[in-house]
Amino acid sequence: MQAHRQRIEDLTKPWRKAKERSAKHPVIDFLFRYFSFPYKRLISWTPGFGVSLEGEFHKDLSDHRFEQKGGIIKLKEELIPKHRIKALDWTISLLEKTMSNTTCFNCYGLHEWAMVYKAQEVRHNNNPLRLSQDEISAIIEEKQLVCTHYDALRFYTPEAVPLNKHQPTRETQEVYEQSACLHANMDLYKWSYKMYPWISSDLMLRCFELAMDCRRIDMKASPYDLKHLGYEPIYIETAEGREIYVKEQLRLKQAGEPLRQELFDVYKGLKSYITSRHLES
């Protein structure tokens, strides 16, 4: 529990410092805005489903989530969200399809470019763009947009949307989602906290670390100049930069594979338990 809290504090230090100054952090803010899991919950440790603890009831374990019987502490099984069986099924299917769908290694992170394409105002307007709007437009129009991630496409400018080869919707998300996508790998963090506290903090932390790594590459490859924050750009407008991006994409895909499988297994276990308890009752 202490190690978990310390690791989260270390990872989020730049974000917390910026927050103290009422400033925005264009990289780490994303992990608390797009992903709506509160910081206080993130640092609140849980062993997850099916794990019991020995010893005294620790003051940092919430009384309304945990119970102690015969010297054993565990999450209260009656709190398992039986009503979320459809959500479990949907996520299980998405994780499975993502593992098997054809990967895409030629997107080059252009989704961030599509989010500022011909825009009057940009999201991270406290940070300068590396290129002019005309240069950004030329690159977007030269390189085909092939983003497969529905939630990334939602933030495209209206002018950029029709330029994307794929037009995923929430209903067709599992058709397009693929494991080389930075955003699909960031979303592993979302699937870990969606079933909090039944997903262990150990797994959630590893998903959070991957999401932060993906977001770092995401913004380094963006048209923003973030050198003042210590993020050296990946110049995807050059052949060398695109090669670097693909190598990073492959690295992050490989890091995400065991986490996706682990989440899939835990989700399946939760569904199986809920189903069996329902049949018993």
Residue in 153, 186, 170, 169 with CA at minimum distance from that of residue 260: 186
Instruction: Tell me which of 277 and 67 has the higher pLDDT.
Output: 67
| pLDDT of 259 higher than 80 | yes
Instruction: Look up residue 140 and give its two tokens.
Output: 């977007």
* Banded model confidence at residue 278, pLDDT cuts 50, 70, 90: low
Helices (H), 109-180: 111-114, 133-142, 150-153, 173-176
pTM (predicted TM-score): 0.93
Across 5-9, 29-33, 74-78, 117-121, the highest mean pLDDT is recorded for 5-9
pLDDT at residue 60 in the model: 78
CB 75, CB 66: distance < 8 Å: yes
| Three-class DSSP category at 262 | helix
Which of 57-71, 101-115, 226-240, 252-266 shows the lowest mean pLDDT across its residues? 57-71
| pLDDT of 223 higher than 90 | yes
* Banded model confidence at residue 160, pLDDT cuts 50, 70, 90: very high
What percent helix, strand, coil does the chain show, rounded to 5?
55, 5, 40
Question: Across the chain, where does the E strand assignment appear?
Answer: 53-54, 66-69, 72-75
> Which sign does the torsion angle of CA 68, 49, 63, 60 carry?
positive
